[in-house]
Amino acid sequence: MIGSRSFFWRALLCLAVTLSPGWVMAATGAVANLETRARLDGTELVLNGAGLRNFLFLDVYAVALYLPRRLTDADDVLRHDLPRRVSITFLREVSTERDVEYLLDSLRENNTPEELAPMRERIEQFLGLIRAEGTLAKGSVVQLDYLPRVGTRVWLNQRHVGTVPGADFNRAVLKIWLGERPTQESLKRALLGKAPETI
């Protein structure tokens, strides 16, 4: 069952890390050194935005969104069935054997039960692809490449581990960062290429 399994995103909330100036520089560099362009099966993609996922004042991972053209509205990103890439670089070692509740909560908060029901087996497939790694070392990269009529190709450290079909699945995962209740509002703005909100 999905609810009884482990998933690497939950591990992001369970990291015990030591903050140091060198580590902060590495985290900043993970975003600053991103490629501004990428190519996906003949389609040229541009860096739409990138940012850091924070937890307890710590930068946990860097994530970048690549699209065929820049979009600043989340609904536009989710509505258009276009090639896209999400690239996640982990800044600390992550065990995949953790509780899955964080992922499920994020999916449930941003997708209706009716939307999620047809994806159950595909979500299990996705979980299995990641869980098989056991541990993602610091610097590991998880890449999600979406192609219409193909699905979401899952890459771990430049190794293709599987493909999950369906535009609906890709949208559901994207909503973790771009949905109405994203994992982090400032990260949503960053992925959409928007400046941070001022207080």
Domain ranges of the chain: 2-191
Residues 61 and 27: their CA atoms lie apart, in Å, by 8
pLDDT (0 to 100) of residue 199:
44
- The answer, yes or no, to whether residue 98 has pLDDT greater than 80, is no
User: 2-191: what fold?
Assistant: Chalcone isomerase (3.50.70)
Residue corresponding to tokens 């993609």: 45
pLDDT (0 to 100) of residue 94:
74
pLDDT (0 to 100) of residue 29:
56
Strand ranges inside 84-171, DSSP E: 84-90, 94-95, 135-136, 141-147, 151-156, 159-164
Mean pLDDT in residue range 75-100 = 84
Q: What SS3 class is residue 119?
A: helix
pLDDT (0 to 100) of residue 131:
82
84-94, pLDDT tens digit by residue? 999 999 898 87
Position with higher pLDDT, 174 vs 100: 174
Mean pLDDT in residue range 174-187 = 95
- The answer, yes or no, to whether residue 20 has pLDDT greater than 70, is no
Entry pTM: 0.82
115-171, pLDDT tens digit by residue? 999 999 999 998 888 888 888 889 999 999 999 999 999 999 999 999 999 999 999
Summary mean pLDDT of the chain: 82
